[in-house]
Amino acid sequence: MKVNIGVVIAAAGQGKRMGGSVKKQFIELAEKPVLLHTLDLFAELEYVREMVVVAAEEDVERTKELLSSYPHIRVIPGGAERQDSVYLGLTALCFSDYVLIHDGARPFLSRLTLERLIDAVRSKRAAILAVPVKDTIKRTDETGIVMDTPPRQSLWAVQTPQAFALSDILAAHEQARQDGFLGTDDASLIERLGQAVHVVEGEYTNIKLTTPDDLVFGEAILRWRKEKGQ
Ligand SMILES: Nc1ccn([C@@H]2O[C@H](COP(=O)(O)OP(=O)(O)OP(=O)(O)O)[C@@H](O)[C@H]2O)c(=O)n1
Ligand SMILES: C[C@](O)(CO)[C@H](O)COP(=O)(O)O
């Protein structure tokens, strides 16, 4: 059965941890802005019914210009926090049964992984990409003393896209706004309502560009893919 899939790209951040003068969505990797690396994959998919890019208010015009070869992608202004920007993106969708919520600053997603996530959301309603944590994780108290070491077998580093039935995630965002709850991802808003979120194993290369060293990893990922002919 044909389903309508919408995409919300959160790209309204200020990139403070990157620390440079150019916001990370506009930084060029292999002579192409990060945001275009991110969008290209979605823009070529026939089952994507609609796409919304959420940009910082001051960057809306610049983002529209950058996306001028994609007239079907809408660009709207975002909010103060990622969660606010995503909410605004969700409310702009008109035709979608399911939505993929993705960070504009996560430009190395592969088509294979995306398709596995889409298969999962169609049967499970809420599915996210994640990779098993490789390091040992410790929890500390406010003085930096280790409190405990959670068993690693149950720990995952969570990525985007995160995929949901649109009605569920809209309701979860509305509830979070009402409760004043701010999560660091969208799945946490569903989890707090008791709904199951399914993990789909992703790829370690689907990194988010957050700090300057991530740009070095990013260049290396692109080089590696080119060598492999991908
Ligand atoms: N108000 C915000 C904040 C973040 N984002 C987006 O959410 C994604 C993940 O956020 P993060 O890596 O934290 O980006 P920034 O907020 O730009 O970075 P920083 O926290 O270092 O300022 C990014 O694609 C970013 O553009 C957004 O759409 N709206
Ligand atoms: C949504 C996310 O990319 C999942 O890893 C991440 O939580 C975003 O966090 P940030 O604080 O906006 O970097």
CATH number for the domain that contains residue 53: 3.90.550.10
Which helix (DSSP H) or strand (DSSP E) does residue 187 occupy? helix 187-191
Q: What average pLDDT is seen over the chain? A: 96
Is the sign of the CA dihedral 118, 92, 180, 24 positive or negative? Answer: positive
What is the DSSP annotation of 110-142?
-HHHHHHHHHHHHHHSEEEEEEE--S---EE-T
What ipTM, to 2 d.p.? Answer: 0.98
Tally of structural domains, the chain? 1
User: For residues 199 and 130, is the Cβ–Cβ distance under 8 A?
Assistant: yes
Classified as helix, coil or strand, 76 is strand
What is the DSSP annotation of 137-205?
--EE-TTS-EEE---GGG-EEEEEEEEEEHHHHHHHHHHHHHHT---SSSHHHHHTTT---EEEE--TT
CA pair distance 131, 207, nearest whole angstrom: 11
Q: From ligand 1's centre to the CA of 105, what distance in Å?
A: 8
- Encoded tokens for 172: 């979860």
Residue with tokens 């983002």: 63
Q: From ligand 2's centre to the CA of 69, what distance in Å?
A: 28
Domain that holds residue 83: 5-227
Task: Say yes or no to pLDDT of 163 above 90.
Answer: yes
User: For residues 134 and 145, is the Cβ–Cβ distance under 8 A?
Assistant: no
Task: Say yes or no to pLDDT of 2 above 90.
Answer: no
Residue-level pLDDT at 47: 86
- Encoded tokens for 212: 């300057």
In this structure, what are the phi and psi dihedrals at residue 94, rounded to the nearest 5 degrees? -115, -25
Q: Is the pTM of this model over 0.80?
A: yes
CA pair distance 200, 222, nearest whole angstrom: 23
Q: Report which ligand 1 atom has the smallest distance to the Cα of 104.
A: 24
Q: From ligand 2's centre to the CA of 185, what distance in Å?
A: 6
Residue-level pLDDT at 43: 87
pLDDT tier, 156 (very low <50, low <70, confident <90, very high otherwise): very high
Q: Report pLDDT digits (tens) over 73-103.
A: 999 999 999 999 999 999 999 999 999 999 9
Q: Report pLDDT digits (tens) over 28-68.
A: 999 999 999 999 999 888 889 999 999 999 999 999 999 99
* Residue 13 Cβ < 6 Å to ligand 1: yes
